[in-house]
Amino acid sequence: MDIGKVSTVSRLPTSTLRFYEEKGLIESIGRHGLRRYYSPDVIDKLALISLGRNVGLSLDEIGEMLLPQGFQVDRDLLLSKADELDKKMAKMTAVRNGLRHAAACKAPSHMECPKFLRLLNIAGKNRSRPKNRIMSTLKA
Amino acid sequence: MDIGKVSTVSRLPTSTLRFYEEKGLIESIGRHGLRRYYSPDVIDKLALISLGRNVGLSLDEIGEMLLPQGFQVDRDLLLSKADELDKKMAKMTAVRNGLRHAAACKAPSHMECPKFLRLLNIAGKNRSRPKNRIMSTLKA
DNA sequence: TATTGACTTCAAGTCGACTTGAGGTTGTAG
DNA sequence: CTACAACCTCAAGTCGACTTGAAGTCAATA
């Protein structure tokens, strides 16, 4: 497939595909003249990358885990990423509960509502800021 | 408290505190000369902000929900953010499962392992890229 | 064969979330 | 009363993840 086809089926702009290739996340199977050609396999790989981005992994993190044949590398890394996801989900659950409570609670100030504070303090454990960066807005 | 105290207890640099103030996320209760003074309440608010950042909300999103007295604004917004968190957690669960499977599975290529693909396809539903941006690495 | 639209490269721009730096002010310990 | 650490402002820089733009190449259709 050429890059245009990959772009339409993956729903990613060609600029992003070139950028991913430059970063070593995907590779073309060759060129026809200047033009990149891709194996259809790239589609699944791109889906995996998008999924990773969607759950908050950086391109570098994804790159560490993603060899030509899918997720791989040392199993410990994979498992530790899985654990990180679990931790983050625990926090997200607390925040979600806090939001639902705030939406339901009649208290004038949530900062003084013990239930609200309790919900969020559970998650407040381990309150470190991320070392490098941000996360997608939950648009996804 | 002065900004230095807030910084040490919140574990956020003063530059971040000034930046948050500029964005309207927090406010000082006044000045002594040039120097900002804060009510102790700001600490909880900063904890809420950090928590929000940690689970992937942008400062703007947090700002929408965070009035002087904590989470507030229209309940529908709060509930829809809660729903977004649920959706993202569903994806994260799928990825986590995929990672654990990949770590355990002896198949040479996960891209051809039906179990792996099935795990991730669950999450592959609704595969759109976020409109604006990223998410913290899971350092937190 | 000439055009055109899809491709190419490379450099620079953008956005969110901060951080850093230069240059200035001030509350307080000595 | 002076030194100085801690504050201040404002502009510019950084980082990840892309996007945009200029300028060029080329395969396929008219």
Q: How far is B30 from chain A (nearest CA, A)?
A: 21
Asked whether residue A132 falls in the same domain as residue A89, the answer is yes
Percent of chain A having pLDDT more than 90?
Answer: 62
Mean pLDDT of A42-62: 94
Q: How far is A54 from chain B (nearest CA, A)?
A: 7
Structure tokens belonging to residue B79: 């509930």
Count of CA atoms in the C-beta half-sphere (13 A) of A21: 17
B54 or A132, higher pLDDT: B54
What is the domain count for chain B? 2
Which of B45, B71, B97 marks a domain boundary?
Answer: B71
Which parts of chain B fold into alpha helices (H)?
3-10, 14-22, 41-54, 59-65, 75-104, 114-124
User: Which of A25-34, B8-17, B85-94, B121-130 is predicted with the least confidence, judged by mean pLDDT?
Assistant: B121-130
Asked whether residue A61 falls in the same domain as residue A18, the answer is yes
Q: Confidence class of residue B112 from pLDDT cuts 50, 70 and 90?
A: confident
Q: Confidence class of residue A88 from pLDDT cuts 50, 70 and 90?
A: very high
Asked whether residue A53 falls in the same domain as residue A100, the answer is no
Best of A95, A115, A125 to substitute, by most chain B Cβ atoms within 10 angstroms, is: A95
Is-contact A3 A46, C-beta < 8 A? no
Quote the mean pLDDT of chain A: 83
> For B10-56, what is each residue's pLDDT tens digit?
999 999 999 999 999 999 999 998 899 999 999 999 999 999 999 99
Count CB-CB contacts under 10 A for residue A32: 8
* pLDDT in the model for residue A71: 65
Are residues B136 and A133, on separate chains, in Cβ contact within 8 Å? yes
Which of B43, B71, B99 marks a domain boundary?
Answer: B71
Best of B53, B59, B96 to substitute, by most chain A Cβ atoms within 10 angstroms, is: B96
Asked whether residue B67 falls in the same domain as residue B111, the answer is no
Q: Is the CB of B134 under 7 A from strand C?
A: no
> For B77-108, what is each residue's pLDDT tens digit?
999 999 999 999 999 999 999 999 988 988 77
* pLDDT in the model for residue A136: 36
* pLDDT in the model for residue A38: 96
Are residues A70 and B140, on separate chains, in Cβ contact within 8 Å? no
Which of A36, A71, A106 marks a domain boundary?
Answer: A71
Are residues A92 and B91, on separate chains, in Cβ contact within 8 Å? no
Stretch 52-81 of chain B: residues touching chain A, C-beta under 8 Å = 52-58, 61, 65, 69-72, 75-76, 78-79, 81
How far is A62 from B102, CA to CA, in rounded Å?
14
Mean pLDDT of A4-21: 97
Asked whether residue B55 falls in the same domain as residue B94, the answer is no
Is-contact B103 A109, C-beta < 8 A? no
* pLDDT in the model for residue B69: 64
Q: How far is B59 from chain A (nearest CA, A)?
A: 10
End-to-end CA distance of chain B: 27
3-state SS class at B40: coil
Residue A24 has pLDDT above 80, yes or no: yes
Asked whether residue A85 falls in the same domain as residue A111, the answer is yes
Residues of the domain holding A108: 75-139
Is-contact A109 B69, C-beta < 8 A? yes
Nearest-CB residue to B85 (from A117, A124, A138): A138
Are residues B86 and A100, on separate chains, in Cβ contact within 8 Å? no
3-state SS class at A35: strand
**Residue found by looking up tokens 């957690």 in the block:** B89
Asked whether residue A10 falls in the same domain as residue A48, the answer is yes
